[in-house]
A and B are shown apart, each in its own frame.
Chain A
């Protein structure tokens, strides 16, 4: 009886079961899909549309490519772009070198290492507002600890955040302090995934500590370093909170990066159409650099193996 039934019915059941299951799939992802549409997809499309208008919360007239032409002809944008690039060029190499050194240190099997690891990670947990405030206090020209150290070292005290020549470097220091702990953890994961046998083999071959670092550790850390490099490139374009808290883009525009310029144009001068075009250019720039990294730098990394 059962056998006879099962020859006719299963097909019907599996089909309806499959559709029912697919419907359950849509049910499970529906809230996420709705959220994605409203807060991710729609904003991207709107941003693109607004960039061709002069939207300023009152009027929104079509201006064609005017915003984009303005962007490529204004010195303000050019200097913000230069600031952004300078920021990245200073921050990224310093961050990678220091976080690798820290990772090598906390990879040692010695007592108390986890305490050091935790302290190195604490700056990552600090919010950018608090990082900005505490460092503004450290950089205070009169009462701050940085100038105190300068005097101890018999160096002339500086104005730091108030000096147009030093303000950007000072922000780089803050960002470096806040960022190395995270990349240390990523490098550490990379270091710990290198098989111990390779070091033993190198030692048997009579390699010095430097040689085993140079010929075992470094080549095997390449992909980790590449990942960190890509992420660092992307995030160096997004430094906003520290700048807002410490310098508001000043003094004399010395820390006005692209992202800060977008904020200023959009929410202080309410030139939202123009700022949208700027945001889109920034997006293309970040995407372009990420793509360049993935296609060109990655090939270079792979070839070097």
Chain B
């Protein structure tokens, strides 16, 4: 018995040791980013890296904000991400409900097409999506046939319209809608509720946890979006945070201090949202039995 206990302690110590080594390996870049943001430029340029700044300075944040309007980039991104998240939730919920709970001719075929599209890498269709954006009717000086102007290029609509929803969200919510019992639906129908009323007032409120998860995925993806803004935006006043960061990086290559300050600020919201929702998310998944 005593021997077994000793073995267990030894094993636990080994596990902790390994976990701490992995934590240093995976966590160090964050530590480096966060501490470098507060270092003086002398400390940053020292060939023997300074792990902790001797005194905390906000110079790097001032410099970053002087060199590029990161406040504006954050507002731009927030605007785009909020609109995209809201429309994704509504449109994916509608389509997920349609595919999940209403039978109509052609449903299975259409749904298989949707699933196939999930396997398609987005980069493959980057060029035609750019061309469709450029020739989008009635935007950016284009006529009804999509000629004459620049369409969605260099505009917030160009960031929003191609991301109004996503195929994954439809699949995700459809799976959830299918697990709901049909008693409530039938009861509401007997009470004379319309089909849209059943969806909006009865079924949608039941999908709260799934909608929250989809909102988190969508918002994070919109906040981190890089390639599409890179392709579609020309003028810096419309930049989103990731594009702003990468351009700022290209221009101020050697100034690590302001770079780390800006990167820390930009990564904060996503990490905060994750830490904030992590507990309730895990709980909601456990209680609704969504796992597996």
Residues of A within 8 A of B (CB): 20-29, 31-33, 35-36, 38-44, 46-47, 50, 101-102, 105-106, 108, 110, 113, 116, 118-123, 125-138, 140, 142-145, 148, 177, 180-181, 189, 193, 234, 237-238, 240-241, 244-245, 259, 262-263, 266-267, 272, 275-276, 279-280, 282-283, 286-287, 290
CB distance from B146 to the nearest CB of A (A): 11
Given known contacts A105-B15, A120-B23, A128-B224, is B245 in contact with A267 (CB within 8 Å)? no
* B92 at interface by CB-CB < 8 Å: yes
* B36 at interface by CB-CB < 8 Å: yes
Chain B CB within 10 Å, residue with most, of A23, A32, A148? A32
B227 neighbours in A (Cβ, 8 Å): 240-241
Taking a contact as CB atoms under 8 Å apart, the answer to whether B48 and A148 are in contact is yes
Minimum CB distance partner of A267 in chain B? B231
Which of the residues B18, B29, B92, B124 comes within 8 Å of A134, measured between beta carbons?
B29
Bound: A36/B18 CA distance, A: 47
Bound: A31/B32 CA distance, A: 46
Taking a contact as CB atoms under 8 Å apart, the answer to whether A36 and B113 are in contact is yes
Taking a contact as CB atoms under 8 Å apart, the answer to whether B91 and A31 are in contact is yes
Given known contacts A22-B102, A108-B15, A126-B267, is B125 in contact with A40 (CB within 8 Å)? yes
B29-59 to A contact mask, C-beta < 8 Å, 1/0: 1101100100000001111110000000000
Taking a contact as CB atoms under 8 Å apart, the answer to whether B267 and A25 are in contact is no
* B256 at interface by CB-CB < 8 Å: yes
Minimum CB distance partner of A262 in chain B? B123
* B112 at interface by CB-CB < 8 Å: no
A35 neighbours in B (Cβ, 8 Å): 91, 164-165
Taking a contact as CB atoms under 8 Å apart, the answer to whether A110 and B16 are in contact is yes
Minimum CB distance partner of A245 in chain B? B246
Main secondary structure of the interface of A (DSSP, over half): helix
Taking a contact as CB atoms under 8 Å apart, the answer to whether A119 and B123 are in contact is no
A-B contacts, 7 listed (Cβ < 8 Å): A21-B102, A120-B23, A125-B270, A126-B267, A132-B249, A135-B29, A262-B126
CB distance from A18 to the nearest CB of B (A): 9
B49 neighbours in A (Cβ, 8 Å): 143-145, 148
Taking a contact as CB atoms under 8 Å apart, the answer to whether B117 and A36 are in contact is yes
B15 neighbours in A (Cβ, 8 Å): 105, 108, 110
Taking a contact as CB atoms under 8 Å apart, the answer to whether B104 and A25 are in contact is yes
Taking a contact as CB atoms under 8 Å apart, the answer to whether A266 and B170 are in contact is no
* B235 at interface by CB-CB < 8 Å: no
* B5 at interface by CB-CB < 8 Å: no
Complex interface residues of chain B between 157 and 171 (CB less than 8 A to chain A)? 162, 164-165, 167, 170
B33 neighbours in A (Cβ, 8 Å): 130, 134, 137
Taking a contact as CB atoms under 8 Å apart, the answer to whether A25 and B98 are in contact is yes
A42 neighbours in B (Cβ, 8 Å): 128, 132
Taking a contact as CB atoms under 8 Å apart, the answer to whether A24 and B44 are in contact is no
* B190 at interface by CB-CB < 8 Å: no
Bound: A167/B235 CA distance, A: 31
Which of the residues B19, B32, B102, B195 comes within 8 Å of A145, measured between beta carbons?
B32
Taking a contact as CB atoms under 8 Å apart, the answer to whether B246 and A279 are in contact is no
B26 neighbours in A (Cβ, 8 Å): 119-120, 122-123, 177, 180-181
B128 neighbours in A (Cβ, 8 Å): 42-44, 46-47, 50, 276
Which of the residues B47, B97, B224 comes within 8 Å of A28, measured between beta carbons?
B97
Bound: A125/B165 CA distance, A: 21
* B274 at interface by CB-CB < 8 Å: yes
Taking a contact as CB atoms under 8 Å apart, the answer to whether B242 and A43 are in contact is no
Bound: A244/B275 CA distance, A: 29
Bound: A206/B7 CA distance, A: 16
* B226 at interface by CB-CB < 8 Å: yes
What 9 A-B pairs are tightest by C-beta distance, nearest first?
A28-B98, A32-B95, A25-B104, A46-B128, A43-B125, A25-B102, A43-B128, A22-B104, A127-B224
* B1 at interface by CB-CB < 8 Å: no
A148 neighbours in B (Cβ, 8 Å): 47-49
B249 neighbours in A (Cβ, 8 Å): 129, 132-133, 136, 245
Minimum CB distance partner of B22 in chain A? A102
* B129 at interface by CB-CB < 8 Å: yes
CB distance from A39 to the nearest CB of B (A): 5
